[in-house]
């Protein structure tokens, strides 16, 4: 997921993702969630997730995260967290309709599946604890981000296939808190 976000930011938004300028959930949370997913897959040891992590609930979880992403998208726009041009930036679209559902599905089936797996022993217990810690760190990064907004997504012009030129103004919470030099955004 972070790789797709990085590529969209670089190719379409013409910017480099700089960790100090990004949301903590993108910089730290999503990679930690990927580690939790990998640990869950390791704990499953090739077995299909069962019980609460089985496919039907995984698909329901995917749908729930998609609905959450759409709801959040609208709520952030209405609250002035993003402008319409930011809300339609390639990385924002990707985050709301790809990252949320897929990471939600994988997290549910792999992480929950791994935690509920029959694998036992000290190594498995450590893997389960580490997976849970990674998920909690992801949650903490998201909570932190709500109180420490970043630019996140530059205003985007789809007709020109590039970010809108600077200066952007201060029509949203994230534009008011953006402190990136113009060289970090691209042209």
Residue 164's Cβ-count burial label (10 Å; 0-12, 13-18, 19+) is: middle
* Contacts of residue 78, Cβ cutoff 8 Å, sequence gap at least 6: none
Structure tokens at 66: 């998609």
pLDDT of residue 50: 86
The rounded distance, in Å, linking the Cα atoms of 98 and 115 is 25
Cα dihedral 117, 56, 97, 30 in deg (nearest 10)? 0
pLDDT of residue 179: 52
pLDDT digits (tens), the chain, 187 positions: 668 889 999 999 999 999 888 999 999 999 999 999 999 999 999 998 888 889 899 999 999 999 999 999 999 999 999 999 999 999 999 999 999 999 899 999 999 999 999 999 999 999 999 999 999 999 999 999 999 999 999 999 999 999 999 888 899 999 988 754 543 444 4
Q: Where are the alpha helices (DSSP H) in 45-89?
A: 55-78, 84-87
Predicted TM-score of the model (pTM): 0.85
Query: DSSP class of residue 82?
Result: S
């Amino acid at each position: 997921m972070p790789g797709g976000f990085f590529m969209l930011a670089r190719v379409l938004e013409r910017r480099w993702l700089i960790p100090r300028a990004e949301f903590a959930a993108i910089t730290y949370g999503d990679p930690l969630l990927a580690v939790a997913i990998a640990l869950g897959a390791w704990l499953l040891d090739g077995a299909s997730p069962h019980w609460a992590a089985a496919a039907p609930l995984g698909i329901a979880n995917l749908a729930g995260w998609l609905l959450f992403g759409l709801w959040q998208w609208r709520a952030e726009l209405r609250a002035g967290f993003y402008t319409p041009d930011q809300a339609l930036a390639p990385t924002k679209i990707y985050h709301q309709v790809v990252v949320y559902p897929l990471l939600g599905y994988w997290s549910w089936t792999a992480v929950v599946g791994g935690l509920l797996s029959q694998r036992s022993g000290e190594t498995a217990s450590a893997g389960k604890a580490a997976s849970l810690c990674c998920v909690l760190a992801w949650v903490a990064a998201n909570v932190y981000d709500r109180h420490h907004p970043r630019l996140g997504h530059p205003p985007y012009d789809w007709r020109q296939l590039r970010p809108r030129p600077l200066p952007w103004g201060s029509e949203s919470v994230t534009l008011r808190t953006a402190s990136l030099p113009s060289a970090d955004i691209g042209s």
